[in-house]
Amino acid sequence: MKIFLFTDKSLDSGHLIVKGKNTKIKLVDLEDFNEILFVLPNEILTFVKHDANLKNRSNLYASIINSVNTVNIDEKSELQVLRSSNSQKNFYTIKKDNLRLFKEKFKHADSKIMMTSDLLFFREIFNANISFNNSIFYIEGENLIKLTEQAFSLLEQTNLEITPKSFVDINIDPNKKVSFHEFDLFNFQNIFNFSVVKKWIYAAISLIVLLNLVGLFNIISNWNQIKQMDTTLADLYLSIYPDEDVVSLEEQLAAKFNTLDVETSSITSKISQLTLDIAAAAEVMELSFNNDDGQYLLVKCIFQSASEEKIFIANQQSNNLTISVVDRADSNDIVVTQFRYEL
């Protein structure tokens, strides 16, 4: 696993650590986000250990937020809880402003982001009280604590053994399990924006139609080039339409071409209008056309809630559209649904 350790709270840059070798790099210059554990400052992504045995997630998260040491009630209302892997007791909290910052910094990522707090990360890989990058990470009782070196020097307790660590010391054993939260980052700036990419949609539809016409166009092209070779062309026609007899090859080719042209024009028009209607009613992530086992359109949409999805489906059905749900996923109060429209 690769490690990206942020060096500031702005989340602009950090150190990329691969097999014990580290490179200072800006986040915007990172091209691949797969198989990377992003270690955020505890001030941004705060580690919380919580022992409450509550099965209801809402009650559990409320209990975690109430346990956070803050005198400002408004600050607690701004917190969001994230669950950590590998433990039923490890969680993270993050303020909504910091969550927006995180999403902004990772807006170009196309994969899930593995993230953890530097406080928990250093405890898991070093299992010792350490100093790192002008901060002290230590354990007091059952609590993990991070302080600046200046703040730590003001403590009365000074007999703790602190081991200095640096980036060169970070080299995770491949068999060692570290905790992290896998964040489902929906990239709203890269979500299907119809006004921007409608030319691409029409180009894709045109390509679909073109692919359907390729076989027939090849026949016509061959016919123009070798029109004296009636027998050869007739054999080619029969190989495509084995259930028909060749009576007048030129007329039959023209009829096939006209039929296919009318059918594909109708499908193109229907797809174009359907795409416009869907994009006006919902946020579209993905659109694809199937012509292998029946003609239908697959559309993936994002909804802010399950009720918004239900309203959309009801409106589509009221417009006499044949629509069915192919797949649905929800995360962080966002619903992603893939629909099938029969054409």
Asked if residue 150 lies in contact with residue 78, where contact means CB atoms within 8 angstroms, the answer is no
Task: Please determine, for residue 221, whether its predicted confidence score (pLDDT) is greater than 70.
Answer: no
- Segment 58-76, tens digit of pLDDT: 788 888 888 776 645 556 6
> What mean pLDDT do residues 150-159 have?
82
340 has pLDDT over 90: yes
Percent of the chain with pLDDT over 90: 33
Question: Crossing angle of helices 230-240/249-281, nearest 10°?
Answer: 40
| Those residues with Cβ within 8 angstroms of residue 279's Cβ, 6 or more apart along the chain or in another chain | 192, 194
Provide the pLDDT for residue 113: 92
* Alpha-carbon distances of 35 from 46, 86, 329, rounded to whole Å: 22, 17, 22
Task: Tell me the pLDDT of the chain averaged across its residues.
Answer: 81
Please list, in sequence order, all residues whose beta carbon lies within 8 angstroms of the beta carbon of residue 143, skipping any fewer than 6 positions away. 49
pLDDT exceeds 60 at position 77: yes
Report the chain's C-alpha Rg in angstroms: 30
CA distance 102 to 185: 10
Cβ 23 vs Cβ 16: under 8 Å? yes
β-bridge partners, 148: 135
Interatomic CA distance for residues 309 and 306, integer angstroms: 5
pLDDT at position 277 is: 82
In this structure, of 163-172, 183-192, 233-242, the range with the lowest mean pLDDT score is 183-192
Interval 83-112: pLDDT, tens: 888 788 889 999 999 999 999 999 887 778
Tell me the three-class secondary structure of the chain, residue by residue.
Answer: CEEEEECCCCCCEEEEEECCEEEEEEHHHCCCCCCEEEEECCCCCEEEECCCCCCCHHHHHHHHHHHCCCCCHHHHHCEEEEECCCCCCEEEEEEHHHHHHHHHHCCCCCCCEEEEEHHHHHHHHHCCCEEECCEEEEEECCEEEEEEHHHHHCCCCCCCCCEECCHHHCCCCCCCCCCCEEECCCCHHHCCCHHHHHHHHHHHHHHHHHHHHHHHHHHHHHHHHCCCCHHHHHHHHHHHCCCCCCCCHHHHHHHHHHHHHHHHHHHHHHHHHHHHHHHHHCEEEEEEEECCCCCEEEEEEEECCHHHHHHHHHHHHHCCCCEEEEEEEEECCEEEEEEEEEC
State the angle between helix axes of 194-225 and 230-240 in degrees (0 to 180), rounded to the nearest 10: 140
Give the pLDDT confidence score for residue 102 in this predicted structure. 93
Q: What is this structure's pTM?
A: 0.55
69's tokens: 């040491």
Give the residue with greater pLDDT, 171 vs 217: 171
| pLDDT classification of 196: cutoffs 50, 70, 90 | very low
Q: pLDDT at residue 191 above 70?
A: no
Please name which of 19, 92, 37 lies closest in space to residue 61, comparing C-alpha atoms.
Answer: 92
Q: Could you tell me the domains of the chain?
A: 2-186 (3.30.420), 194-342 (3.30.1360.100)
Select the more confidently predicted residue: 256 or 27: 27
**pLDDT band for position 209 (cuts 50, 70, 90):** low
